[in-house]
Structures are given as structure tokens and as C-alpha cells.
Structure 1
Amino acid sequence: MRPLKRLVEQFLESEAKGGILLFVTALAAFVLSNSPWAQAYFDLRDVYLKLQVGDWVLKKTLLHFVNDFLMALFFLLVGLELKREILQGELKNPRQAGLAVAAALGGMVTPALIYTAFNYGGEGAAGWGVPMATDIAFALGVLSLLGKRVPLSLKVFLTALAIVDDLGAVLVIALFYTSQLNVTALLVAALVFGFALLLGALRVRSLTVYMLVGLVLWYYVLLSGVHATIAGVLLAFAIPIGRARPLPPHADGVAEDPELHEAQLELLEDAAREAQSPLHRLEHLLHPYVAYFIMPVFAFFNAGVALEGAQVGSIALGIFFGLLLGKPLGILLFSYLAVRLGIARLPSGVGWGAIAGVGLVAGVGFTMALFIAGLAFDAALLDEAKLGVLSASVTAAVLGSLLLWKTAAPRPS
């Protein structure tokens, strides 16, 4: 159990640092978009990148390259984390999974209803999916600022909640934010996905093979009209999680003889690498690139919104109150019902005040919310949506921190 706990703590620490970097790059984008260099910032997003092989050409703006290709790697990591949590992590235990699933469901349904109440029948009606999403990196970054006042069990609960929330967002994108379908490309994508599943069933361990298949899958999903990032999640579910062979006996200890100590450590490290599943290896490989490059780059290119001429209408208000009120109310209500019905239990040492605080922090919807906003709105409405996301996320982070500071302090033993 100690190695597993150490891995969880390393994961949370990595996500927390990534959240702080995400905040810095988002702030830089916001400042630039309202500075004398604003036009240069917006022009940079519209620079075209072109890849050509013979008669085949793929041409995308820098903004679309980030949102369609780099974010597919983010979604690949989301899929890997989700699969690991279901098979080996918090979501494997039915009662712990019950709480995370119930909380995530409440945190998706309630914000969508609040947003719809503001925008029913209006031009912003399509944006109901925007306030449903929680940003795991930002949320854990907020919790990291509170240090040891937040128990590990509460951080793990927020992580599991956000991962289930991400799955919900992926389903919403695939089902409701898909353009006109190209049936031929969709069938080819299905065949490629089937081939990836076959590779997983055969226990193919080469990550290079999976990434090459993933590139083909990404291209045909892009052509199909379904958002290309969904390819990342599909590929994740094909990658096997089983070990090739178990660790050698006594792998948790080292030789007491100093002369053998270093040699044995090297052997154990080699054995550990060999014993790791392809899913764990890819997850560990992707994590630093996603946390410290892909998500900050996404934030930089998507968080810029010019305040001059920006409106605060029903779209911004629906997103603001959906994230700030809908998230904590939905998470608290659905969690309470799940516990009362006996299908879930609260994390160790955590009370309802702390659950309410986590609900507020879950209102930090930055990455996925901005992503869905880009799919739901055209340029004329997108700035208003961004304003709602950014203002709600900052407010939720501040209020959630204050509430957790008072309610989530670990109980004395």
C-alpha cells in the first residue's frame, strides 16, 4: 500500500504544479489580449501550419493545431487515467466509486440546468455543456496552496470526481458537439480502433506501435466530423494495463552488503521498468509533457479575451452561476443522496463542509470548459463565454480555498 500511496502523492503533486503553471500562462494570455500587443497575440493564433506529403495536405491554424492535435494527447492521458482508476484505483472500490460518480453526475447535471435556465431558446442555448467540466490541474493546484490542511483522502476524492467528470465531458463532446458526419471516414476510424483493441488483446507492449496507430486513428476521426480529440480517449482504452511479468521476489528490499547495494538497485530498476504495463509507461511518459507544455500552451492560446466590447449577457451569467453555484450544489446534493442510500461513503476524516469546499473548487472549469466553449460558440459569442468561464473559475478558486481552510483541516489522531 505504501508504494501505491507514494504514486498517488506524486501524481497529485505533479497536477498541482501544472495547475500553477496553467494559471500563469492563462494570466499572460489575458494580459496580452488587453495590451498594446493584443493584435500580435491574436495574429499569432491565426498563423497557418501546413503538412504536405505529395498531393496530401493538412493545413491548420496554430490555434486549431493546439486544440485538435495537442489536446488529443491531453485526452489520451485522460483516457489512461480513467482506465487505471476503473481497473486499479479509486473507482475500483464500488462504494468509493459510487461517491465519485454521484458527485460528478450532480456536478454536471445541475450546472447544465442553471445555464439552460438563463439561455433557454436563446442564441446561447448550445453552450449548456460549458459549465459541466472541472479542471483537474487547476483544482488540485488550488488544494496544493492549502498544504497539509487538506487530507490526502480529499485530494484523491477530487481527482476521482474530476476524472469521471472528464469522461462525461468527452461523451458530451462526442454526442452533442459533433459537426456533420463523414460516414466513410467514421467507418475507417472504427476499423482502426478495432485494430488497436486487437493489439491490446494480443498484449503488444510497444508504445511506438500504439502511437502510430493512434496517429491514423486521429486523422480519420478528424475527417469524420467527430472532434479529433476523441481519438485520444479511444486509443487509451486499447492500451493494455497488465504487466508482462511480476517483479522478482524481495523487490521491496535491497541488499545490506554495500558492495552489492548499487548493483541490486540497478537490477530492480530494470525489473520494475520491464514489469510496468504499457498503460503505466505511457501515462508516466505523457504526464510531464501534458502538465508542463500542452495544457499551458492551450491556456495561452485560448484564455485571451479582449475586455473592450465584451458583453456580460445570459451566456456569461449562465456559465458563471452554473460553475459557481451549480457545481457545489450538485456535488453536495448528489453525494448526500448517495451516502444516505448506502451506495457510497465519505472519505476518511472528511465531513460535509469539506465536500462543499471541494464542490466550490470543482467550479474551476478552465481547460475543458474553454474547450467546449470553442466547439459550442462562434467568434461573436466566444469571448462572452470565455469571460464567464474565467470569472467563475477565479471566484470558485478563492471561495473554495477559504471554505476548505476552515473545514478540511485533518482531524487530530
Structure 2
Amino acid sequence: MAKRLHPRSIIQTLREFMQVEAAGGILLMGAAAAAMLVANTALGTGYFAIKATYLGPLTVDYWINDGLMALFFLLVGLEIKREFIEGQLSTGASRILPALAAGAGVAVPAIIYMLVAGGDPALARGWAIPAATDIAFALGILALLGSRAPTSLKVLLTAIAVIDDLVAVMIIALFYTADLSLPWLGAGLAGLALLIVCNRMGVRNLWVYAIVGLGVWAAVLLSGIHATLAGVAVALTVPLAGPGNAEGHAPLHRLEHGLHPWVAFGIIPLFGFFNAGVALGGMSAAAVLTPLPLGIALGLVVGKQIGIFGAIFAAVRSGLAPLPKNAGWLHVYGLSLLCGIGFTMSLFIGGLAFADPTDQNMVRLGVLGGSVIAAIGGWLVLRLAKPVGPPAAMPG
């Protein structure tokens, strides 16, 4: 059984995590802006041609979204496992507030989307697009605020996003799976079973998990289930106990530490650059107000703040959980707005929900528009929020 880290080690790990995520989030903002600029200049033709270029059996776009993003989901799986076993979500009490907030933050945006766009059966598949929060983007905004954002707010945001990612992974597995090939699915499950046996037998060599994990990814890709889910599944088999249970030497810690910079500074900005570009030429302003982009944007901006702020307010008012330390209700409202930044996961789910290029452009408009409004709104609210000492009195 893995040794529980000393509280100071947990705090240091979380601090390093947020520093990398925040810097990666700022880089992601730049990648998204660059994509929009390139897509709407003379470079646009080359930009879209590169996305459609084949490298071996798959296009560049496919390699990024189904190949490299599997490493992003591998990291997500590692973070989920660590947080639930020894991190900020390791106790029942620590899970209450972020679990309630994340649950409402998934449900309310989906409801709003369906109210706006669900009347068209062809658009109903997009209900999960505004349900996700982009932790890197959101932490990047918090980093720009410096000390104006209490550390407890960053911890809560991270916890909400971790649970949010877990729910998003489950949604992808249950609702965005193509026709299944049972033989290939069986091969993938056999690979996972082998990794579980390796874990139980005390195998700590990461190369074993990498090589078998690559085979699991290929099998899952051919099975019809989205290949990135293999990353999460493999992550859950990586051991969280190191030699002699030494702190920081567990295979999971080493793999997470090694992957994090590559994902934050390479894979996610690359994904953002190749997925955020929308050619606006010939597109009318009225297109933004059509059901698909409008439903996504309203889900992110309105749904997230209603769901998350409402859940936190109800939990605190009922005595289930306290307000984050040194944070007031204006801080919580700003946090709720920032959770409306759906960028990475929202674009990813949008690509699974709609195959038509026109629909995908509408998805990008909705995600980008909603995320930008949520980012600016959250930044403004937190910029105006005054630091507090003890938790603020409940409103009403």
C-alpha cells in the first residue's frame, strides 16, 4: 500500500503542478490566438492543408487528436489516481465541495445546451461539449492575478477540474463510442489485465507499462472506443508505491513528473493550435447566434456559473462544507466564471460529437466565444474581489 505523503510534500507537489499548469495555460492562450490569426490570413490555406496531410495511415489532425492526446489523457488519469489516493481528494470530507460543484457544473451547462440546441436531433449529440473545464487555461488566468487569487481557490479549482475530467472521460466512453469490435476490445482488456498483474506482482519498471500501454492504445483504437481513453485506463494501473515506499519515487510520481512539462508545453498548445483555427471569411455575424454555438457558449458562461456557484452556496449554507480559506463569495463567483473556460476538453468532445466540418466550425466558435467571455469575466470579478481573512459571512 502506498505511503501517504507528508502534508508539506503534498503542498509542494501541488505548487509545482499549478506552476506548470498555469504557465502551460498562458501558452495555450497564445496558441489559440495564433490559430485564429493564421486561419484568417494568407497562411490559412497552408494551415488547413497541413491538418489534412497524411503521415503514414493517419492525417496530422488525427495523430494529434487520437495519438498525442492519449498522452494528455494518460496524465489526466495519473492525476486523478494520485488526487484520490493521496492528494486533495483523498478523504471523504475533502471531496464533498468539489464533487458537488463539479456535478452541478456538468449538469446545468448540459441542460442549458439542450434547451437552446436540443430541439434539433442532429445537434443533441453536443450536449456534453460545455460540460468540461480547462484546468490549464483557468489556472493560467489565476496566475495572471497573482496574490489576488487565494491559494485555497486554486486548490478548489484543481479539485473541481480533476473530478470534471473524470466525468468527461466517463461521458466519452459511454456516449461517444463508435461501433465496437469485440476482438480488438478483448485484446485491449487483456493488455490492461496484464498491467494489473504486473502492478500486483510489484513490477515498477515504467518501460513495461509504456510498451504494454502502447499495445493497449492500438487495440482500443481499432476497437471503436476512442483511443485516448486507453491513456486513462493505463494510468490507473501504474503503481503508486515506490522502492521502500520512498516519497516521490513511486512510478506514478515519476511518470507524472516526466509527462507534465511535455503535455503542458507541447501537446496541449499543439492541440489548441490545430483545433482553434476557424476561417471567418464569408461567415455572417448571425452565425454566432445559431443554436449550436449559442448553446455551447451559454452553457459555458451561464451554465457553469449557475451550477458551480449554486452548488457551493448550497453546500456552505447547509453546513456540508466551509468556504475556501481566505476567500469570500465574490472569489467563489469569480471561480465559477473561470470554470466556464472549456477549451481543450470541450473542443475534444466537439470533435467526437460532430463530423461535419461546418458543425465543427460552429463548435469552435461556441467554445472559443464562451471560453473568452468566461475568462474575461472571471478575471474581472477576481481582480475586484478584496482579500479576506476568515471566511466571509454567508449572504442572505
Q: Given the two structures, how large is their TM-score scaled by the length of structure 1?
A: 0.89
| CA deviation vs aligned residue, 1:48-106 (integer Å, no higher than 9, x gap) | 011xxxxxxxx110000000010000000000000000001111122221111111011
The answer on 1:201 being equivalent to 2:207 is no
Does the 8 Å CA contact 1:157/1:347 hold for their aligned counterparts?
yes
Tell me the residue number matched to 2:253: 280
TM superposition shift of 1:350: 2.0
5 Å-filtered alignment, 1:263-342, equals 276-310=249-283, 311-312=287-288, 313-342=290-319
Structure 2: stretches of 5+ with no match in the other structure: 1-6, 392-396
**Matches of 1:203 and 1:344, distance apart in 2:** 39
- Equivalent position to 1:61, from 59, 67, 71: 59
Indicate yes or no: 2:387 matched with 1:401.
no
Structure 2 residue matching 1:405: 3-state secondary structure: helix
> In 2, distance between residues paired with 1:346 and 1:230?
34
Q: Which residue of 2 aligns with 1:268?
A: none
Q: How big is the shift at 1:339?
A: 3.1
* CA distance in 1 between partners of 2:198 and 2:358 (Å): 45
Which range is displaced more, 184-193 or 388-397? 184-193
How far does residue 406 in structure 1 lie from its aligned partner after superposition?
A: 2.1
Structure 1 contact 132–369 (Cα < 8 Å) conserved: yes
User: Which AA in structure 2 matches 1:350?
Assistant: A
Equivalence for 1:261: none
Distance 1:30 1:243 in 2: 45
Q: Please give the alpha-carbon distance, in whole angstroms, between the structure 2 residues aligned to 1:20 and 1:326.
A: 24
TM-score by length of 2: 0.93
Determine whether 1:387 maps to 2:365.
yes
Matched, 1:47 2:46: no
Residues in 2 aligned to 1:246 and 1:136: alpha-carbon distance in whole angstroms: 30
Q: Which amino acid aligns with 1:405?
A: R
C-alpha displacement of 1:336: 2.3
Partner of 1:104: 102
Change (3 A) 1:178 1:246: closer
* Residue deviations 1:221-274 (CA, integer Å, cap 9, x gap): 101111000000000110111232145xxxxxxxxxxxxxxxxxxxxxxxx6xx
Q: Where do 1:9-408 residues align within 5 Å?
A: 9-50=15-56, 59-122=57-120, 123-247=122-246, 276-310=249-283, 311-312=287-288, 313-378=290-355, 379-407=357-385
- Greater CA radius of gyration, 1 or 2? 1
Q: CA deviation at 1:37?
A: 1.3
How many residues get paired? 379
* Deviating more after overlay: 349-358 vs 208-217: 349-358
CA RMSD of aligned residues (A): 1.5
Q: Cα deviation per residue 1:279-313 (whole Å; 9 max; x = unaligned)?
A: 00000000000000000110111011111234221
What displacement does 1:408 show?
5.7
Secondary structure, aligned partner of 2:58: strand
Instruction: Give how far 1:342 is off.
Output: 4.0
In the aligned structure 2, how far is the partner of 1:124 from the partner of 1:362? 23
3-state SS of paired residue (2:154):
helix
Determine the C-alpha separation between the residues in 1 that align with 2:178 and 2:263. 27
Task: Determine the structure 1 residue equivalent to 2:4.
Answer: none
> Judging changes above 3 Å, is the alpha-carbon distance between structure 1 residues 336 and 95 closer, same or farther for their aligned structure 2 residues?
farther
Provide the rounded CA distance (Å) in 2 between the counterparts of 1:408 and 1:393. Answer: 24
